[in-house]
Structure 1
Amino acid sequence: MRKSKKVYSGLDSLPHGMASTEITPGCVALEGGALRGVYTSGVLDALMEAGINFQCTVGISAGALTGINYVSGQIGRSAATSLRYARDTRFMGPKAYRRNKCIVGFDYIYNEINKAYPLDKKRFFDPARRFVAVATNCRTGEPTYFDRDTCSDIFQAVKASSSIPYASKMTMIDGDPYLDGGCSVKVPYAWALEQGYEKVVVIRTLTADYRNRVTPRMYTDKVPLLMGLFYRKYPELLRKLMATEPRGNAEFEEMQRLHDEGRIFMICPSRDLGFDMVMRDMEKLGAIYYLGYEDGKAAIEPLRAYLAK
């Protein structure tokens, strides 16, 4: 069997540069999906190259982590970090868990990786643009929307947003325990609409026709053994986790309806990405980045038409 390379072979030829400072009215909502987030990186790089820099960015899990680089205007930074470090277990895996109690190595990302690819913090914290990370409050089972400009620590909020159930311990923020935002909401498009944004763009990491497989178990009150062992002290979280698949499908149907009506604009993978959330084949990950990049470029003209309405 061919051994996967540790670093993507096309790393040095990735798109790069800085986005313009022009701000586009509206909000972009970013779905999670662990390393499927490299697709989102490609779409966002295409948007930045086209001068489309939304006023608000709201992301869940990998969407929040990727969104940081969109707000900082750094074309290629998100892709470069994933395509260089995805096979490093300090970035994602057992070493990350030992150091962070989280499957994603946030101390490594925020410290060591930041030395190689410095985040433009001045631009990221520019109040002209809004950044929001979504995490699930384990006591209430409801999503919390952490605004960069009002929360105590936005980087801790992004960690909470990416704390995948079972593979991560809860992240504490201001005395409350949090897990991945995807436990309570799959894509934060509804929040963007409720905030009054007239233009809402959704970037998904699953194809438009994807629906979760739903089984009869999901309509019973019987808590699965593993779920109960981990989260029996958090009954509201358990209720949310038990309803994940049907609730997600309802969101997907609603998003499609709103897209068809012209209320929101969705950009989805033009083909199935064909891998699990933690795949480490760097060449396949690179191909998925470029799929997002090409899908993003193909969406520019219809997106401009949507924004002009």
Structure 2
Amino acid sequence: MKKLVVYSGADRLPSGRAAGGITEGCMVLEGGAFRGVYTSGVLDALMEAGINLQCTIGVSAGAMNGINYVTGQIGRSARINLRYRRDPRYVGVQAYRGNRGIIGFDFLFGEYDKQDPLSWGALERNGRRFVAVAANCCTGKTEYFERGNCTDLRKAIQASASMPYVSRPVLVDGVPCLDGGCTDKIPFGWALRNGYQKVVVVRTRPDDYRKTIRERSARWAQRVYREYPAFAKALGECDRNYNRQCDMLERLKRQGRVFVISPSEPVTISRLEKDMEKLGRLYHLGYEDARRQLNALRAYLA
């Protein structure tokens, strides 16, 4: 295999274990494919500062980041993406052949995990709650997978991060599922419904971002997912629902009900960005954005 192109600052990424104890509250992590590198930076800064919320719910890349947050592994999410984004076993045609999806989860949970293990034992010991959001292809509804209602969290994370159109549905306990962003892109509503008084939301787009609605998107969803009409309907409506979520989140933020960390600069990378230096800069943007808000966040959580 030819030498991989990695982020030039990969050797200087933070590492170690999260400091501090567990704080009551729910961390809500938006997805966004490789825009999730921003979230990696935010969470590393929070772990270094000892801000470890009792519950974490993540969608797609948010779920992939979130599992490393609840196990307290500083830098692990960043090491994956800033070292291996250009590895064909992780992203691309080779990954698709082995996984029937654009992301190589067999590499992620197999070979990579052997050299930089995910600490499932830490999750068992610390008692923190982790929820992976996925879309049920049969019902078009959202599934919130966690210990107690799911026998394999790895499969739940894989389903949560399996992008529509470029991934086959993933069976989670026999249920075909895809990217949770198809039905619930920013699941702060779940946190509020479950009674969390302190809710921290990490965005991967600036607060004022809204999606452009394209009618042909709904028609394309119906054509591709004829086998799953309820899912096709939900997928066709997801951008409108996302814009409504953003409007609601903005109101809750103004009211002081939720705390939002979002990019302080426009995010210009693509969902499957290959430029390792751009990804590295996005990671550091998240890290610095979080550090600047530590005092305000501590005051909110108090």
Q: TM-score, normalised by structure 1?
A: 0.94
Q: Distance in 1 between matches of 2:38 and 2:179?
A: 19
**2:230 pairs with 230, 236, 243, which one?**
236
Match in the other structure for 1:41:
40
SS in 2 for 1:75: coil
Tell me which of 207, 217, 227 is aligned to 2:221.
Answer: 227
Tell me by how many angstroms 1:127 deviates.
5.2
The Cα shift of 1:175 comes to 2.1
- State the shift of 1:303 in Å: 0.6
Q: Give the letter aligned to residue 128 of structure 2.
A: R
What is the deviation of 1:149? 4.3
CA separation in 1, counterparts of 2:200 and 2:54?
11
For residues 251 and 127 of structure 2, the distance between their equivalents in structure 1, rounded to whole angstroms, comes to 31
Residue equivalent to 1:273: 267
CA shift for structure 1 position 216? 5.4
Structure 1 residues 230 and 129: CA distance shift in structure 2, 3 A: same
Q: Answer yes or no: is the 8 Å Cα contact 1:127–1:149 preserved in 2.
A: no
CA distance in 1, matches of 2:100, 2:185: 23
Q: Give, in whole Å, the separation in 2 of the partners of 1:117 and 1:185.
A: 30
Q: Distance in 1 between matches of 2:223 and 2:192?
A: 37
CA deviation string 1:124-181 (max 9, x = no partner):
2335200000000011111100013441100000001011001000011222110100
The aligned counterpart of 1:246 is 240
SS of equivalent residue, structure 1 residue 287: helix
Contact 1:81 1:117 in 2 (8 A): no
The residue number in structure 1 matching 2:295 is: 301
Q: CA deviation at 1:42?
A: 0.2
Post-superposition Cα deviations, 1:152-211, rounded to whole Å, max 9, x if no partner, equal 100000001011001000011222110100000111100001010100000000010000
TM-score, normalising length from structure 2? 0.96
Q: Percent identity?
A: 52
- What letter corresponds to residue 301 of structure 1 in structure 2? N
After TM superposition, where is structure 1 displaced by more than 6 Å over at least 4 residues in a row?
none
Structure 1: where are the runs of 5+ without partners? none
Query: Any conservation in 1 of the 2:20–2:51 contact (CA below 8 Å)?
Result: no
Q: How large is the Cα RMSD of the aligned pairs?
A: 1.5
CA distance in 2, matches of 1:148, 1:95: 31
> Number of matched residues?
300
Measured in 1, the distance between the counterparts of 2:204 and 2:153 equals 23
Contact 1:138 1:236 in 2 (8 A): yes
Q: Aligned to 2:125, what secondary structure does the other structure show?
A: coil
CA distance in structure 2 between the aligned counterparts of 1:242 and 1:122, rounded to whole angstroms: 39
Report the alpha carbon displacement of residue 102 of structure 1 after superposing the two structures with TM. Answer: 1.4
